[in-house]
Amino acid sequence: MKRTRIKQIWKDAEKFGGKELTIAGWVRSVRDMKQFGFVTLNDGSCFNDLQVVLEKGSLPNYDEICAANVGSSMKVKGTLVLTPDRPQPFELQATEIEILGSVAPDYPIQKKHATREFLREHQHLRPRTNLFRAVFRIRSLAAYAIHTYFQEEGFLYVTTPIITTSDAEGAGEMFHVTTLDLENVPKIEASDNKAGDAGTSTVDWSKDFFQAPASLTVSGQLQGENFAMAFGDIYTFGPTFRAENSNTRRHAAEFWMIEPEMAFCDLEGNMNVAEGMLKFVINFVLENCTQELAMLNKFVDKELIKRLKHVASSAFARVTYTEAIDILEKAVEKGHKFDYPVSWGIDLQTEHERYLTEEHFKRPTFVTDYPKEIKAFYMKANDDGKTVAAVDCLVPGVGEILGGSTREDDFEILEKRIVDLGMNPDDYKAYLDLRKYGSCEHAGFGVGFERLVMYLTGIDNIRDVLPHPRTVGNAKF
């Protein structure tokens, strides 16, 4: 079917004025005025609809069309008439309409105020609502903006494996990948357990597909570093999986992460890339998603556009973890109540992150140099012996949007850290090799793509920015 998309018409109506067009789309509303009627049609190409005018006298199936339910799909042939003096700048005068797919009366999403919880149970239909059309248009544009930013800055895009045999974060939150029969797992005697290296496991991994315990990746960073040490600046953008048993508004079991990695780069350079990228993406969405943002600003978060504009034009705050703890302790002295007590050494909780970024700094905030005990093994040790060159970026409403560090580039220090943490250096031989052959200072970070989309849309639940969310106890659709 040769069809014109509604977006093209809104972009350049003059070009289509007086022309015969074929449009295919879904009905948003029908009004029957007896001798003539109106159908508003949307084809998903843009937020705007197309008004179709139908005359009873010239359409043999006029009554059938007027009886069509919202959501029906139609093919309309007609002439585009420019109507510059009316609220609608143009309309399509139909010469022929064909109903392609009718809508059964139990269509669940025609309810006027379907809640987001209700729509989560109807994930196959929710992209048809205005709210989700706005969210997923912004998600798509944000992905494009991220690629654009890194490509224009000369970064190499590298895809990293989804199936892996190493735990990049060392946190043990991996989903197993196996072809073994779970009802009948092959075992070996613990005494001659040589196959794979699963500690005290008696599973005979040599019988498994990869002949070793394998998992879904929690991060592409380690493989990304291999490419950074050859290309200088690289980024990954791919799916990430974490079997974290945390049922929160900000955690998904399957999410997307962008992980840039830069050779010859320190923590300050790392923060500059992070800040530059976030501002680029925000500006890109502000420029290209005006209707979507206006809709979200009206119905989801009245401060959204104001906040995004403010962030795009102001410098992010930068503090050390030690300074951040100081700020939080002073807040407690002044009477602010936190559920989790504050003291040097704690992992910052969401309430602490929100206080720092929402109440104290009132803008995105980089917190650097965390205690080594609460951060991953690969982070570069600082001279104080207590902290590592880590950086998290906290944003109002979302908390941690990205986390990264300078990487430990000294072979001996890294090997000792791996051993001290009870990990097996043999599992990290390739990673250690990078420190043996032409090592250099390098740094990177990982942005949770959904956390970014939450920030860009004002949506407060990660389940509503993922097309088909996977969370604890839920992998439906």
Kindly state the tokens that stand for 232. 């200088």
Burial (0-12, 13-18, 19+ Cβ within 10 Å), 85 = exposed
- Residue selected from 37, 404, 458, 469 as contacting ligand 4AD according to rule CB under 6 A: 404
Give every CB contact of residue 372 below 8 A, 6+ residues apart in sequence: 379, 381, 386, 387, 388
Residue 220 interacting with Mg ion (CB under 5 A):
no
The SS3 call for residue 153 is coil
**Distance separating alpha carbons of residues 232 and 62, to the nearest angstrom:** 64
- Residue selected from 403, 431, 434, 454 as contacting ligand 4AD according to rule CB under 6 A: 403
Residue identified by tokens 């209700």 is 118
9 sits in which H/E element: helix 6-11
Question: Of the ranges 214-222, 303-311, 362-370, 399-407, which one interacts with Mg ion (CB under 5 A)?
Answer: 399-407
77 sits in which H/E element: strand 73-82
Q: Which does 254 bind (CB under 5 to 8 A by kind): ligand 4AD, Mg ion, none?
A: none
- Residue count at the site for Mg ion (CB under 5 A)? 1
- Residue selected from 259, 353, 369, 408 as contacting ligand 4AD according to rule CB under 6 A: 259
Question: Of the ranges 81-89, 279-287, 398-406, 413-421, which one interacts with ligand 4AD (CB under 6 A)?
Answer: 398-406
- Residue count at the site for ligand 4AD (CB under 6 A)? 24
Q: Which of 146, 45, 148 is nearest to 456 (CA)?
A: 146
Among residues 260 and 403, whose Cβ is nearest to Mg ion?
403
Q: Which does 255 bind (CB under 5 to 8 A by kind): Mg ion, ligand 4AD, none?
A: ligand 4AD
Pattern 353-392, binding to Mg ion, x per CB under 5 A?
Answer: ----------------------------------------
Task: Give the residue at shortest CB distance from ligand 4AD.
Answer: 448
**Distance separating alpha carbons of residues 460 and 269, to the nearest angstrom:** 30
- What is the 3-state composition of the chain as percent helix, strand, coil, each rounded to the nearest 5? 35, 25, 40
Q: Which does 451 bind (CB under 5 to 8 A by kind): ligand 4AD, Mg ion, none?
A: ligand 4AD
Q: Which does 323 bind (CB under 5 to 8 A by kind): ligand 4AD, Mg ion, none?
A: none
Question: Of the ranges 104-112, 188-196, 304-312, 402-410, which one interacts with ligand 4AD (CB under 6 A)?
Answer: 402-410
**Distance separating alpha carbons of residues 276 and 9, to the nearest angstrom:** 35
Closest approach, Cβ 220 to Mg ion, in A, equals: 15
Sheet containing 163-164: which strands, arranged edge to edge? Answer: 163-164, 214-216, 176-177
**Distance separating alpha carbons of residues 217 and 174, to the nearest angstrom:** 7
Within 153-175, where are the H helices? none
Pattern 137-166, binding to ligand 4AD, x per CB under 6 A?
Answer: ------------------------------
- Residue selected from 25, 445, 456, 466 as contacting ligand 4AD according to rule CB under 6 A: 445
3-state secondary structure 79-136: EEEECCCCCCCEEEEEEEEEEEECCCCCCHHHCCCCCHHHHHCCCCCHHHCHHHHHHH
Q: Which of residues 176-215 bind ligand 4AD (CB under 6 A)?
A: none
- Residue selected from 446, 464, 465, 466 as contacting ligand 4AD according to rule CB under 6 A: 446
Among residues 72 and 160, whose Cβ is nearest to ligand 4AD?
160
Q: Which of 356, 347, 346 is nearest to 319 (CA)?
A: 356
Neighbours of 233 (CB within 10 A): 20
- Residue selected from 260, 364, 403, 469 as contacting Mg ion according to rule CB under 5 A: 403
Query: Would you tell me which residues interact with ligand 4AD (CB under 6 A)?
Result: 168-169, 219, 221, 242, 244, 251-252, 255, 257, 259, 400-405, 444-446, 448, 450-451, 462
Q: Where along the sequence are the contacts to Mg ion (CB under 5 A)?
A: 403
